[in-house]
Amino acid sequence: MASDFIRDMIATDVETKKHDGKVVTRFPPEPNGYLHIGHAKAICLNFGVAKEFGGKCHLRMDDTNPTTEDPEYVEAIQRDVRWLGFDWGENLFFASGYYDKLHEIAERLIRLGRAYVCDLNEERMSEYRGTLSEPGKNSPFRDRTVDENLDLFRRMRAGEFKEGACVLRAKIDMASPNMKLRDPPIYRIKHAHHYRTGNAWCIYPLYDFAHCLSDSIEGITHSLCTMEFESARELYDWVIAAAEMPWVSRQTEFARLNLTYTVMSKRKLLELVEGKFVKGWDDPRMPTIAGLRRRGYTPEAIREFCSRIGIAKNLSTVDLALLEHVLREDLNERSPRVLAVHRPLKVVIDNYPDQVEELDAPYWPQELGKAGSRSVPFSRELSIDAGDFMEAPPKDFYRLAPGREVRLRHAYVIKCERVVKDAQGGVVALHCSYDPQTRGGVTADGRKVSGTIQWVSAQHAIEVEVRLYDRLFSTERPGEAGDFKDELNPQSLVTAKMWVEPSLKTATSGDRFQFERLGFFIADQDSKPGTPVFNRTVSLKDSWSKQTAKPAQGAARAERAKEADRPEAPPRAASELSPEAAALQGAHNLSADEARVLAAEPIILQLFQAAIAAGSDPRATAKIVCNDVLGETRARSLSATPFSGDDVASLVKLVVDGAISTKQAKDVLGRMFDAGGAPGPIVDALGLRQVTDAATIEGVVDRVLAANAGAAARYKAGNVNVLGALVGLAMKESAGAANPKVVSELLKKKLA
């Protein structure tokens, strides 16, 4: 875990044996709503540091407001914290569990002359409070005697007064420059039923009183909270001191998480639920932990996101695209690939016999080095996606068109021979031929077929409901200019049908898949045996990488267009590059997006050029700096990278040489951002270096081939799909250390 100012502070405290070197933190939600992704940041921090420093983290329900709290929320909070991967052990507490103690402490303050009962109504009290520039005035009730105060407070407690008739206030300083210290109320009358204490109380402690004392009662060492509590810190310290508490807890603030296209306050989320703008707290469009879970997020992705954004004091709004980027990285590794068709177009393979053939289709792309496959039926009548056919396509359309060939994933190469149209001229079916020599997708004569598309067998495919989710709000900062509910994205949920391969019939709630070329999906809890329902967790297109490729003026242009109240001018066409970008593209054979990033981002360009000067491969370098380096730099709001172009060059070389995978390169890069410095030692420290030495790998490959003679024979007989499985077995045999590319090449050579 990267360090930050809080971890640095705690490390020092532990070293200097403050609190006997103990670390006790707490996560203190109020059970008045479901937890959201912002809470996840606080949870990862509090539970994270406790774990890292060998301490404990308490889960405390901060339940001092009887009118908004509910046991449903208490349960949801526990479920969500657990799902995120954290454990409070025996340390589940409730502020309401301290009502007796808090009441006792309040009486103690009265006896010590440090609190008084005040009869000013709310309006008068606020007049007396003064302003930021003017001191307040003492309440006429401030000098009541201890006995009078004790008597009044007991009568408050006994239910003699109406709500609002009086409050108990701390007696501090009405002239304090910190408004929070101007005799804040600490107990108020509420004739309300509490979900845990029932009707036992009609006075309830206020947050500023209850929170610090709960911390002290529990022996919390480090009370970590968000910046809005900064001005309350003095009061926090005052209450603990005035009550002469034996344990002194200390509060430290950090910036709360804000996300673009998201509202993050429980009050607003409750409004969405109660107003039926969404289907509940766990609606997959909600930023709640329950919503994200149902949408298909993983706890790992959320934790990784929290770790990437880090902890700091300066407020910032994180781009939702970063969360989605981290999610894709995680899902990529855990989502088997399957075939699905969104808008079906009928394809008849005229020269295919009237039969059904079972094709062995690996679940994983080869580079992941994972084993596992299923069988997919292939027949004479198929469906492909309508978008994968064009009658008069441009030259660079690598899919199906009259007279052109395309590869059907896991199956054969087909050629479009004839187009069938309806009376209106709409395409209703394609007649194709297949090349029997291409089973598994490889042409016998070595001719090139550029495109691969997904398909399903018409008679075997199952029709399923899919819920295509998009961001809940259409504006980047909902509510900034008006009512946030006016900015809901009308397209945030589109319900559609898809036709999926028959293996998905047995999918059950929580199963994840990548529908090839369509997105990451998860089976929803609404699935019934035999008829799964799928939520689209996230599309495959990474708008984070794409957006980092957007010229910097993009957002400004959108702003100006908004101000002028006219639609945004169309963005520059993808093929159109600034002269600088075009020059970079030409010089280094880069993609347009990469060239655009380099031209727009001086830090990235400088790093790129330094790495190239050190002999680094331009394309591989561009890939890393334009995506990963830029992403991290932005996520961490850095204006420079803590490593040099030479370091980037070394990192690229490790990848190009196959010493580490691209996925591992990202981890190494994360460390380089955390601690600066050269990748080599980090790779060694993490024990990542892969085995690329052919002699070692050869032994592994030989063992796998000997043990799997059947699979080897099938490959030789033309089923090239078996290769992925063999690579996976070799990876396993080498305990993950072998380089999958080298393994794959060696296997191919041996089986040729």
- The 3-state DSSP class for residue 512 equals strand
- Minimum distance from CB of 29 to ligand ATP (Å)? 4
How far from each other are the two terminal CA atoms of the chain, in whole angstroms?
A: 46
What count of other Cβ atoms lies within 10 Å of the Cβ of residue 27?
A: 23
Task: State in angstroms the smallest separation of the CB of 62 from ligand ATP.
Answer: 6
Contact 222, 25 (CB under 8 A): yes
Nearer to ligand ATP, 266 or 404 (CB): 266
Please tell me whether residue 562 adopts helix, strand or coil conformation: helix
Least distance from ligand ATP to the Cβ atom of residue 548, Å: 24
CB of 486 to ligand ATP, least distance (A): 20
Nearest distance from C-beta of residue 30 to ligand ATP, angstroms:
4
Minimum Å gap between C-beta 748 and ligand ATP is 50
Least separation in angstroms between CB 37 and ligand ATP: 8
Per the structure block, which two tokens stand in for 552? 């910097």
Residue type, 667: D
Report in angstroms the alpha-carbon separations of 613 from 403, 589, 617, 625, 679.
47, 16, 10, 15, 18
Nearer to ligand ATP (CB atom), residue 28 or residue 205:
28
Instruction: Single out the residue of 460, 443, 461, 444 nearest to residue 452, CA to CA.
Output: 443
Q: 69 vs 601, which CB is nearer to ligand ATP?
A: 69
DSSP 668-704: HHHHHHHH-S-HHHHHHHHT---B--HHHHHHHHHHH
Type of residue found at 688: L
Q: Which two tokens stand for residue 452?
A: 């691969």
Residues identified as active-site: 30, 256, 266
CB of 283 to ligand ATP, least distance (A): 17
Cβ-based nearer residue to ligand ATP, 32 or 379 = 32
Select the residue whose beta carbon is closest to ligand ATP and give its number. 38
Q: Which is nearer to ligand ATP, 237 or 271 (CB)?
A: 271
Q: Nearer Cβ to ligand ATP, position 309 or 400?
A: 309
Nearer Cβ to ligand ATP (309/652): 309
Nearer to ligand ATP, 46 or 621 (CB): 46
CA 708 – CA 538 distance, rounded (Å): 37
Q: Minimum distance between the CB of residue 227 and ligand ATP, rounded to whole angstroms?
A: 9
The four Cα atoms 307, 309, 313, 317 give a dihedral, to 10 degrees, of -150
- Give Cα separations from 143 to 111, 120, 181, 315 (angstroms): 13, 14, 17, 42
d(CA 534, CA 196): 39
**Amino acid occupying residue 323:** L
H or E element at residue 344: strand 344-349
CA distance 469 to 261: 14
Pick the closer one to ligand ATP by CB: 45 or 595.
Answer: 45
For 84-125, the DSSP string reads TT---TT-EEEGGGGHHHHHHHHHHHHHTT-EEEE---HHHH
Residues that bind ligand ATP (CB under 6 A): 28-30, 38-39, 41-42, 62, 225-226, 256-257, 264-267
CB of 674 to ligand ATP, least distance (A): 21
Query: Could you tell me if 515 and 503 are in contact, meaning their C-beta atoms sit under 8 angstroms apart?
Result: no
The rounded distance, in Å, linking the Cα atoms of 257 and 635 is 12
Q: Which is nearer to ligand ATP, 259 or 595 (CB)?
A: 259
Phi, psi for residue 575 in degrees, rounded to 5: -80, -15
Residue (of 306, 319, 305) closest to 260 by Cα position: 319
Determine contact, residues 549/594, Cβ cutoff 8 Å. Answer: yes
Q: C-beta of 267: minimal distance to ligand ATP in Å?
A: 6
Cα gap 201→203, rounded to integer Å: 6
CB-wise, 206 or 371, nearer to ligand ATP?
206
176-181 contacts: CB < 8 A, separation 24 or more? 178/231, 178/234, 178/235, 179/129, 179/130, 179/132, 179/231, 180/208, 180/231, 180/232, 180/234, 180/235, 181/234, 181/235, 181/238
| Residues 14, 49: Cα–Cα separation, whole Å | 12
